[in-house]
């Protein structure tokens, strides 16, 4: 009896130790926006196709916001532009020569920026710790990236991978797969054809160490996670979600795509799981919804396996008797 019990406990422990947990990589409430800036926003003569959330001040001239909403925690200086939806402003408004096709909202902020910033920072750090599945090599003036035909590919890159390389090449990737690029370095520049050709994939560029990023002449079919970075540059587009520390760029954000939540092995959910006050997210003012908590793989499966092994052991004892 004791031998069978030890066998059961040992097998269950081995099964638990060998189980690989997976959790969803998800931008949460930030997924509803073309741009989230945890600092300020400064840009002129450009457009953003989706909703925008700015924790600090918003300053723009000759700008067009075509999304459902604008959320500004600080002051708004918006000259000679337009807003297609509603706008919440926590501070003062200077709106000479602009039009709004919605309502001005005030009162309590509809988005908890501090909690969302903490969540995005935890997400960025957690992704940075993932093991690479793909490989990279700088050769002939370009960055060559090769995957493993997996549903999720992780690439570990640094700022030096973009220094001196004028183009990039992708190989051995499953069409429609999720590509996570963890890019280290405090100060980075992406220009010209770097990381192009991503339209057939679900892509997230995670600048987990970045303090400043300059984009120039780029066309990225990807989402950007750089929660501590000041983003500058111009003459380019970023098609997905953009989450940054501060926005000073003259880039077009068409809002044509968003990062799709994906289960990733060995990834652990960040805390807090939801920004504070998710009840203050009315659809008219804010298109996002609170992120539902996704539980870790249930222990019920382990219990069922252990119970089955116990039944087998009991039956064997009866046959021996």
For 267, the token pair is 């990834």
Structural domain includes residue 212: yes
Give the C-alpha separation, 190 to 162, whole Å.
7
Domain boundary among the residues 218, 240, 265 is at 265
Cβ-based neighbours of 138, under 8 Å, separated by 6 or more: 144, 161, 164, 165
Note whether 187 and 309 are same-domain residues.
Answer: no
Clarify whether residues 33 and 65 are in a common domain. yes
**Could you tell me if residue 132 is inside a domain?**
yes
The answer to whether 156 and 135 have CB atoms below 8 angstroms apart is: no
- Give residue 302's pLDDT: 39
- The dihedral region occupied by 90, where left means phi > 0, alpha psi between -120 and 50, and beta the remainder, is alpha
Q: What is the pLDDT of residue 105?
A: 93
Residues 190 and 173 in one domain: yes
- Does residue 125 sit within a domain? yes
Answer yes or no: is 280 within a domain.
Answer: no
Tokens of 218: 């780029």
Check whether residue 32 and residue 15 sit in a common domain.
no
Q: In this structure, is residue 261 part of a structural domain?
A: yes
244 and 196 share one domain: yes
CA distances from 236 to 67, 152, 209, 220, 253 (A): 19, 27, 23, 8, 9
Please give the Cα distance from 104 to 86 (Å, whole number): 6
* In a domain? residue 292: no
Q: Which residues of 281-307 are buried (b: 16+ CB within 10 A; e: fewer)?
A: beeebbbbeebeeeeeeeeeeeeeebe
Q: Are residues 14 and 34 in the same domain?
A: no
| Whether 79 and 189 share a structural domain | yes
321 residues of the chain, pLDDT tens digit each: 444 444 444 444 444 444 567 889 999 999 999 999 999 999 999 999 999 999 999 999 999 999 889 999 999 999 999 999 999 999 999 999 999 999 999 888 899 999 999 999 999 999 999 999 999 998 888 899 999 999 999 999 999 898 877 788 999 999 999 999 999 999 999 988 788 889 999 999 999 999 999 999 899 999 999 999 999 998 899 999 999 999 999 999 999 999 999 999 988 876 544 444 443 443 333 433 333 333 333 443 434 444 454 444 444 444 444
User: Can you tell me the distance from the alpha carbon of 214 to that of 205, in angstroms, rounded to the nearest whole number?
Assistant: 14
Starting at the edge strand that comes first in sequence, how are the strands of the sheet with 64-65 ordered?
47-48, 64-65, 82-83, 99-100
Distance CA 17, CA 6 (A): 16
Residue that finishes a domain, picked among 247, 265, 283: 265
| DSSP-derived 3-state class of residue 254 | coil
User: Are 255 and 303 in a shared domain?
Assistant: no
Looking at the structure, do residues 12 and 142 belong to the same domain, yes or no? no
Residue 186 placed within a domain: yes
281 found inside a domain: no
Q: How far apart are CA 146 and CA 179, in angstroms?
A: 11
Specify the number of domains making up the chain.
2
Last-in-domain residue among 242, 265, 288: 265
- The residue range of the domain holding 102 is 22-265
Is residue 129 within 8 A of residue 110, CB to CB? The reply is no
Separation of alpha carbons 117 and 122, rounded Å: 9
First CA to last CA across the chain, in angstroms?
Answer: 12
The tokens describing 306, both together, are: 């252990």
Two structure tokens written together for 169: 């090449």
Whose structure tokens read 């004028």?
Answer: 166
Do 13 and 140 reside in the same domain of the chain?
Answer: no
Comparing CA positions, the residue from 143, 137, 181, 140 lying closest to residue 162 is: 143
Do residues 164 and 206 both lie within one domain?
Answer: yes
Q: Which helix (H) or strand (E) holds 285?
A: none
Task: Based on the fold, state whether residues 6 and 35 are members of the same structural domain.
Answer: no
| φ/ψ bin of 41: left (φ > 0), alpha (ψ from -120 to 50), beta (otherwise) | beta
């Amino acid at each position: 009896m004791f031998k069978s019990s030890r066998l059961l406990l040992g097998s269950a422990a081995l099964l638990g130790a060998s189980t690989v947990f997976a959790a969803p990589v998800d931008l949460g409430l930030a997924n509803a926006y073309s741009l989230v800036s945890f600092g300020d926003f400064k840009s002129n003569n450009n457009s953003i196709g989706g909703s925008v959330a700015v924790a600090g001040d918003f300053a723009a001239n000759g700008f067009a916001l075509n999304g459902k909403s604008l959320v500004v925690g600080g002051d708004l200086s918006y000259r000679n532009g337009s807003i297609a939806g509603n706008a919440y402003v926590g501070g003062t408004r200077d709106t000479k020569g602009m039009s709004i096709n919605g309502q001005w909202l005030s009162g309590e902020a509809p988005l908890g920026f501090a909690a969302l910033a903490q969540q995005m920072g935890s997400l960025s750090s957690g992704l940075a710790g993932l093991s690479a599945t793909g490989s990279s090599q700088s050769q002939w003036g370009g960055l060559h990236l090769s995957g493993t035909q997996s549903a999720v590919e992780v690439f570990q890159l640094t700022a030096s991978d973009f220094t001196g390389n004028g183009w990039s090449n992708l190989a051995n990737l499953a069409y429609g797969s999720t590509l996570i690029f963890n890019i280290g370095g405090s100060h980075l520049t992406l220009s010209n054809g770097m990381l192009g050709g991503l339209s057939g994939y679900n892509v997230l560029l995670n600048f987990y160490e970045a303090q400043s990023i300059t984009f120039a002449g780029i066309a990225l079919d990807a989402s950007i996670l750089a929660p501590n970075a000041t983003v500058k540059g111009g003459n380019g587009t970023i098609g997905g979600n953009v989450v940054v520390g501060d926005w000073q760029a003259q880039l077009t954000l068409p809002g044509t795509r968003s990062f799709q939540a994906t289960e990733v092995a060995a990834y652990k959910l960040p805390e807090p799981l939801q920004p504070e006050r998710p009840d203050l997210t009315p659809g008219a003012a804010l298109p996002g919804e609170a992120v539902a908590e996704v539980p870790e793989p249930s222990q019920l499966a382990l219990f069922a396996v252990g119970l089955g092994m116990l039944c087998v052991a009991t039956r064997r004892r009866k046959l021996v008797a």
